[in-house]
Structure 1
């Protein structure tokens, strides 16, 4: 069961996603015991009364006033037992160990790279945390440090995993798997991190020949499909291909598919619809059935129709 809500921007449309605003007849949101059993969520705004403080405990994003739990930020209400929190819609990414992230190299430093990961501070990718030519397990030499820009340089995009945290809270990343590393042959789409749900796998392949990497930090990579067997084992991987800055040849049909998927993500994000692999597949099939091109998806009417159809199928 797919469940999602959207944050209302223009409530006068009467969309099924629009929520009431302060001043409506019912200005109080009561939560019963079965409210979130199915994993659903509700959207709130600063100052809205959520529930009684006698029945629930306040968490992040809330405060207590007149024995009522009140939202302090705009976002989705989340409940764990009797604890009520509000997860802000517009916020920086809050990382956890094991998260998959997509980032951009911002600086090359001695034995490390700084990476923009849409978090409160840049992440760090150590030279010792990447695959180097000649085998994963070999020691890093001084010559490797001198050639760091041959692996990653400023502006390069990469997918990595959060390995640990430094004392100042900065993320330590690693790319010690051939699933991770430099990104090519695609397009970057940025959405609010709250809209990327934790899935069993964040590497998604659509039937249209497009690969997706859903970074939990809100950076999504849409690219040409690459067969898994095109890479050799980790001990003998082709470093020149893995760290190449050149894109492969992409035919026109694949380019169109990449653009269509990227625009689908932007449309869903503009309606604050959380992304899942099933949802993206249904949205792509809808565009094919309705013969909607990539540019047409950015039309307001078409976007509303797409989201309404996806909601009806959920």
Structure 2
């Protein structure tokens, strides 16, 4: 845990340093009892059972008859396969991953999207649901209207389709994918987001949506109902209407209808700051932990900006240490 805090911008006084160190040591001891020898550094020996047969995977090598780690990380075992999952590594895509990205280029028949990977991903026009919802071949008119769907700097949600000859390909063939608006995107280390069955979360009590992208991009925004009407409003407006609305500023009534309520904006910022606190402490980001931090900040009557203070981060670490200790005693 202490290694994860290196490079953070927390300015702690002496008392806070002692409290934080005590909480992290408690968390370290709890995790080491559960996963003995789980964390390794370069040249550490990895205990294996040679009688069952061992397959040495990524991050391992054989030296003097022992399996040793070649990278810093966590030892993972899948049947006979033993490998080391590196921490602080760049995102490594897998087919089916839910990702959040930002459009960097509108190219012929495709969008290029930055997803925190070593190269930009590709979202083909043919891998998108058309605005009219009809399954048909894409025409030249569809290609001309691509900017009415996504343009540069738009934040989008998609699914990893797989690798092809020209790079990593995405797809967005469901209503839950597409353009994300009225919220904010956060960037955290990808290893803090575990692959789970559900990455889309609707926090009903706050009226917001939370998308935990496997690539470390997190979206927090106002809740949007995924219906055909909404999709048609977002992407199927004729190009003439778009240019007309760009030229003529919206009326005050339209601005009021399009604005996010103040309480919802506060909830978005509070939830986003909860994600930032978890990232600073190096904790795995889950919707349960996010809600706990949001509720803790509300119970303490903290303003949104106070959640990023040193005292609150230390308090979150102490509460997490207490929670895991109680869970261990119950178990």
Normalization by structure 1: what TM-score? 0.81
Q: Distance in 2 between matches of 1:270 and 1:243?
A: 41
Give secondary structure in 2 for the equivalent of 1:296: helix
1:44 to 40, 43, 61: 40
| Cα displacement (A) at 1:95 | 1.1
Tell me how far apart the structure 2 counterparts of residues 131 and 259 of structure 1 sit (CA, whole Å): 31
Please give the secondary structure, in 2, of the residue aligned with 1:278.
helix
For residues 236-275 of structure 1, the aligned pairs below 5 Å read 238-242=231-235, 248-275=258-285
Work out which of the residue numbers 5, 10, 29 in structure 2 matches 1:9: 5
User: What's 2:125 paired with?
Assistant: 127
Alpha-carbon shift at residue 223 of structure 1 (Å): 0.4
Give the Cα–Cα distance (whole angstroms) in 2 for the partners of residues 53 and 68 of structure 1. Answer: 11
Q: Tell me the alpha carbon deviations over residues 70-129 of structure 1, each in whole angstroms, 9 at most, x when there is no partner.
A: 333232232224543221221121111111111111111111111111112111111111
Partner in structure 2 of residue 189 of structure 1:
186
Shift in Å, 1:54: 5.2
The aligned residue for residue 327 of structure 2 is none
Aligned counterpart in structure 1 of residue 160 of structure 2, from 135, 159, 162: 162
Contact 2:91 2:190 in 1 (8 A): yes
Number of the residue aligned with 1:75 = 73
Higher helix share: 2
What is the Cα deviation at residue 43 of structure 1? 3.4
1:286 Cα deviation from its structure 2 partner: 1.6
Unaligned runs of 5+ in 1: 20-30
Question: In the alignment, is the contact (CA less than 8 A) between 1:268 and 1:307 conserved in 2?
Answer: no
What does the per-residue CA deviation read over 1:37-86, in whole Å, with 9 as the maximum and x for residues that have no partner?
xxx99433334444368586543223333444333323223222454322
Distance 2:88 2:209 in 1: 27
Which residue of the partner structure matches residue 23 of structure 1? none
Alignment length, in residue pairs? 289
State the partner residue of 2:110. Answer: 112
Residue 295 of structure 1 aligns to a residue whose secondary structure is helix
**What's the secondary structure of 2:279's corresponding residue?**
helix
For residues 60 and 117 of structure 1, the distance between their equivalents in structure 2, rounded to whole angstroms, comes to 23
SS at match of 2:291: helix
Say which SS state the counterpart of residue 304 (structure 2) adopts: coil
- Check conservation: 1:41, 1:78, Cα contact below 8 A: no
Helix, strand or coil: the match of 2:294?
helix
CA distance 1:164–1:54, shift in 2 (3 Å): closer
Distance 1:132 1:52, change over 3 A: closer
Q: CA deviation at 1:302?
A: 1.1
**Could you say which residue in structure 2 is the equivalent of 1:26?**
none
**Please, which moves more after superposition, 84-93 or 119-128?**
84-93
| Matched residue SS, 1:114 | strand
Partner of 1:153: 151
Greater relative contact order structure (CA < 8 Å, 6+ sep): 2
| Rg comparison, structure with higher value | 2
Return 5+ residue gaps in structure 2 as ranges.
7-16, 27-31, 247-254, 325-331
Root mean square deviation of aligned Cα: 3.1
